[in-house]
């Protein structure tokens, strides 16, 4: 991302099969409970409802994120950023890209599940108006952790939309990304 006026911008691009080896390394470094190795290949090559994006800085993969389109809703399936690249706005830029994608595909709102104790992700999602609408008891079986179900207001909500646009513009300024616009 932009480290200064002359620094390269964060590049957001659709994930391809050729990204998968790097994505796997990132999953292992970034996620407490990575999906099975075959899962992302299935998502990218076979799941017609899934779209994933990579975030690269100077060619290096620093993060990725994806969504599922479920009828008229988009579901954020994953966002992950390398530990050493966190708190620089990469996840936020990816989230903006996902939300734009969902809007372009005619989704009415966004939803997701997040671990009850994942306060970092919850803080990110709160910035975009995600609010708790339900809870799945012991949804994360590894440590019997509840999953919170979070949803945005409708994308055409007249209070939410201008806040989204302002926050998205700020996020893209931070990383120098233009791909999410
Ligand atoms: C959650 C995660 C994706 C955030 O990635 P990131 O690139 O560091 O996030 P960003 O830099 O875009 O953060 C944007 C905002 O989110 C909030 N946020 C992010 N991480 C936070 C943390 N550790 N503590 C508090 N707030 C946090 C802040 O408001 C932050 O803005 P700020 O830096 O201006 O304060 C990253 O920590 C990660 O990969 N975690 C493991 C995977 C995971 O939990 N994914 C979510 C699954 S639902």
Does the Cβ of 57 fall within 6 Å of ligand 1? no
How far from 41 is each of 23, 78, 162, CA to CA, in Å?
Answer: 10, 14, 36
**Tally of CB atoms within 10 A around 123:** 9
**Spacing, Cα 31 to ligand 1 middle (Å):** 13
Tokens representing 94 are 């990816």
**Spacing, Cα 181 to ligand 1 middle (Å):** 20
Phi, psi of 21 (to 5 degrees): -65, -45
In a domain, 140, yes or no: yes
Residue closest to 55 by CA, chosen among 88, 103, 33, 29: 88
Does the Cβ of 123 fall within 6 Å of ligand 1? yes
Tens of pLDDT, residue by residue over 74-99, are 999 999 999 999 999 999 999 999 99
CATH of the domain at 46: 3.40.630.30
Does the Cβ of 107 fall within 6 Å of ligand 1? no
Mean pLDDT of the 161-180 span? 91
- With 0.85 as the threshold, say if the pTM is over it: yes
In a domain, 1, yes or no: no
In a domain, 2, yes or no: no
Q: How many domains is the chain partitioned into structurally?
A: 1
109 is in which domain, residue-wise?
Answer: 10-175
Known catalytic membership, residue 27: no
Tens of pLDDT, residue by residue over 11-60, are 999 999 999 999 999 999 999 889 998 999 999 999 999 999 999 999 99
Tens of pLDDT, residue by residue over 96-129, are 999 999 999 999 999 999 999 999 999 999 999 9
């Amino acid at each position: 991302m932009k480290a200064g006026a002359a620094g390269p911008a964060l590049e957001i691009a659709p994930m391809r099969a050729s990204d998968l080896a790097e994505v796997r390394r990132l999953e292992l470094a970034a996620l407490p409970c990575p999906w099975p190795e075959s899962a992302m290949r299935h998502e990218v090559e076979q799941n017609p409802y899934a779209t994933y994006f990579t975030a690269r800085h100077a060619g290096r993969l620093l993060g990725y994120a994806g969504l599922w389109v479920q009828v008229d809703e988009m579901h954020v399936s994953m966002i992950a950023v390398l530990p050493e690249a966190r708190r620089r706005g990469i996840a936020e830029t990816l989230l903006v890209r996902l939300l734009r994608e969902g809007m372009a595909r005619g989704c009415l709102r966004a939803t997701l599940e997040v671990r009850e104790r994942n306060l970092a992700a919850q803080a990110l999602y709160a910035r975009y108006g995600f609010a708790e609408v339900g809870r799945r008891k012991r949804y994360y079986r590894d440590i019997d952790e509840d999953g919170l179900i979070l949803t945005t207001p409708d994308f055409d909500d007249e209070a939410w939309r201008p806040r989204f646009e302002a926050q998205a513009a700020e996020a893209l300024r931070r990383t120098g990304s233009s791909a999410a616009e």
